[in-house]
Structure 1
Amino acid sequence: MRIAFFTDTFCPQINGVTNTLNKLIEYLSDNNYDYLFFAPDYETDETNSKIIRFKGIRPHLYPDCRLALPQYSAVKQALQSFRPDIIHIVTELGIGYIGLKAARELKIPIIMSYHTNFDRYLKYYDLECFNKLLLTYMRWFHGFALKNLCPSYDTINDLKKQGYQNLDIWSRGIDCKMFSPCKRSESLRQQLNIGQRLAFLYVGRISAEKGLNTLLESIKRANKKYKNKICFVFTGDGPYIAELKSSGYDNLIFTGFKRGEELAKIYASCDAFVFPSGTETFGNVVLEAMASGLPVVCVDSGGITDFTNEQNAVICKYNDAKSISSGIKRLAESKNLRKKLSEQSLKTAAERSWSSVFDSLINNYKAAAQPY
């Protein structure tokens, strides 16, 4: 089977989509599936001949992204040369749009995936006036797919209410060799100046739509009693980092973006994971934390509800600082609860292998290509 992918986000950018695509490329290579990616150019030297890059602009709100609109004739020619059995459109922006146009003209079956609740982010950037237009475009775009694959059942239910059709699941896995409690490093804890404090970790984009304004208020509440006992480690970068740094709290630690072994060591070297975002379509970082043996404090909204519950996490109300601070306090006060949730985290992660996730994806490709 030959598969062409169109995506507006790709490595070296760091997010849940790019992490999934990196794992997918490993799987396709290991199982001898031929593939071709159309992706943005991040000004790096591309060594993989199966990835075609396109230069784009840096959007003001997300400067780590690239918005590209490839030359249609070049894309069409590359597809005619590659002759894919199916096209998987990963995202809905410039590259995804050109992929849709080419697939329709060349009559190649289309699978799409839905990864980001863009409409939920608009209010954080005072762009709610575009909400109706965005929802109309997204429904139109996904209307051409034989299947629209979603990372969680929460996302499927949400899209059903909005009138999307042909919905199916494409969940996420975890590499339990990469993310593991055995990578805990006392020297790293010393380097980060954690000391004997209980370290609550957040990993992801440092931005308001991730619920970090609510988390900051939760930290303020928790610090009233536990300031000298706990600290908060932020791994990532983004526009809200200035707000965090100017908060005046001396128990906040910032590591910047990390990946690979460095990231795995940070997970394992902390003591708990706190995730206030309720806008995720899945929440890969929560699963990474669980594989690292961390007890999790999270909210009752978004894709993370597919795999978090009262048995394996402290569940808090979304966008409720009092509830999240209460969850932080529960873990700070109880070693037994931390131990119990750590054990349940590891069990949850162990049940989610990447190979089974991608086996299911290939079955979707084959089923979609069959009528053609």
Structure 2
Amino acid sequence: KLCYISGYKNRFQNFIKHLREMGDEVIVVTNHEGVPQEFHGAKVIGSWSFPCPLYGKVPLSLALSPRIISEVAKFKPDIIHASSPGIMVFGALAIAKLLSVPLVMSYHTHVPVYIPRYTFSWLVEPMWQIIRFLHRAADLTLVPSAAISKDFETAHVISANRIRLWNKGVDSASFHPRFRSHEMRVRLSDGEPEKPLIIHVGRFGREKNLDFLKTVMDRLPGVRIAFIGDGPYRAELEKMFEGMPAVFTGMMQGGELSQAYASGDVFVMPSESETLGQVVLESMSSGVPVVAVRAGGIPDIIPEDVEGRTSFLFAPGDLDDCVGKIRLLLADDEFRGDMGRTARAAMEKCDWRAASKTIRNEFYSSAIDYWRKKQAECQ
């Protein structure tokens, strides 16, 4: 029986879905905005939230009301899994201690890297101190990439034996080349579907290094770009691309998003701070090659031994390297198609079912064993 506490309710629906398919009982606590009463048979509890002061479209919630504590206590979970960072993880920690239940934390947003872009650099070390406090209180920490695991060890967050790598998972049925659509391509290209089309999907934040795409497009005459998503940097980005062959669609979900991915020629990912890069997985699953920065968790998706066969990486800040690889893909339809098919084949092996089974059967068991050992030592 799992209690899953997270503000990232859209990102891990597949995880909850597969746990339910395996017969597990699940209760989800998340922010109240747009929350359904249940998801694949898992009861969903909405917690009152408020906008993040520095990032208005991100809702924050402590998830620590008497109502929520009562609901979780009534459910009697075997383990609590909370997404970190965010203030909701403090609520999860308090509930786990109150109810004496093992706690797993999974780390998804590398806040220390983002802080200098939004506020004061001197806040980086206090943020690491908060991360240390939270993750040392957990029984196990899941990280999305080897790069984050290394950062945690360097910052002395917790010992390596209490860190596990949450293997990448992608919904390869929803993100598939079969969703390529001429109508969607017309929309993304602003009525010029015959032109080469770069796509980018994601949250538009200053930390995503999206202004790099302006310098890329300056070097690629005759090429169009489509931005799918939204975020606090959108207005500034639209102004930056004013008069250029660029389309901003806003947020897309479901079938529309599947079509958008599959209808591009190349996906470009300039962010240097991704803990994993789910959008990279989804583009490759859609049969669209990626040109991404060799940084953060991206090399876990495109390791050195397959680079140039499934997708390309470029050195951080190296405009010539990036543009050269985009040109190579756009100039040769056959080469691009072969790479897209190879990327798709690689992603078929990275499904959510396998990732969910590993977490359920191995990682949760490790956390429960560690918790039991701590309990025995305290007696």
| TM-score, with structure 1 as normaliser | 0.91
SS in 1 for 2:268: strand
Q: In 2, are the aligned partners of 1:84 and 1:108 still within 8 Å (CA)?
A: yes
Question: CA shift at 1:46, angstroms?
Answer: 3.6
SS in 2 for 1:90: strand
Query: Counterpart amino acid of 2:277?
Result: G
Distance 1:250 1:214, change over 3 A: closer
| Aligned CA-pair RMSD | 1.9
Distance 1:163 1:315, change over 3 A: same
Map of 1:163 onto structure 2: 156
C-alpha separation in 2, matches of 1:292 and 1:9: 23
1:312 to 299, 310, 317: 310
Question: CA shift at 1:44, angstroms?
Answer: 5.1
Question: CA shift at 1:3, angstroms?
Answer: 0.8
Unaligned runs of 5+ in 2: 373-379
Decide which moves more: 259-268 or 127-136: 127-136
Question: CA shift at 1:45, angstroms?
Answer: 5.6
The equivalences for 1:128-167 within 5 A come to 128-165=121-158, 166-167=162-163
Cα deviation 1:128-177 (Å, max 9, x = unaligned) = 22111101100111001221011122221221111132110112212222
1:261 to 255, 259, 265: 255
The equivalences for 1:171-250 within 5 A come to 171-192=167-188, 193-222=191-220, 227-228=221-222, 230-247=223-240, 248-250=242-244
1:35 to 18, 21, 26: 26
Query: Counterpart amino acid of 2:256?
Result: E
Count of aligned pairs between the two proteins: 358
Decide which moves more: 296-305 or 76-85: 76-85
Distance 1:354 1:44, change over 3 A: closer
Query: Counterpart amino acid of 1:179?
Result: F
Question: CA shift at 1:52, angstroms?
Answer: 1.1
Q: In 2, are the aligned partners of 1:8 and 1:94 still within 8 Å (CA)?
A: no
The structure in which a higher percent of residues are strand is 2
Query: Counterpart amino acid of 2:20?
Result: S
SS in 2 for 1:270: coil
Query: Counterpart amino acid of 2:177?
Result: P
SS in 2 for 1:58: strand
Cα deviation 1:307-354 (Å, max 9, x = unaligned) = 212332221112333332232222222334313321221122111111
Map of 2:349 onto structure 1: 351
Q: In 2, are the aligned partners of 1:150 and 1:156 still within 8 Å (CA)?
A: yes
Map of 1:332 onto structure 2: 330
Decide which moves more: 286-295 or 246-255: 246-255
Map of 2:91 onto structure 1: 98
Decide which moves more: 63-72 or 173-182: 63-72
C-alpha separation in 2, matches of 1:132 and 1:367: 30
Unaligned runs of 5+ in 1: 11-17
Q: In 1, are the aligned partners of 2:199 and 2:227 still within 8 Å (CA)?
A: yes
| TM-score, with structure 2 as normaliser | 0.89
Q: In 2, are the aligned partners of 1:9 and 1:65 still within 8 Å (CA)?
A: no
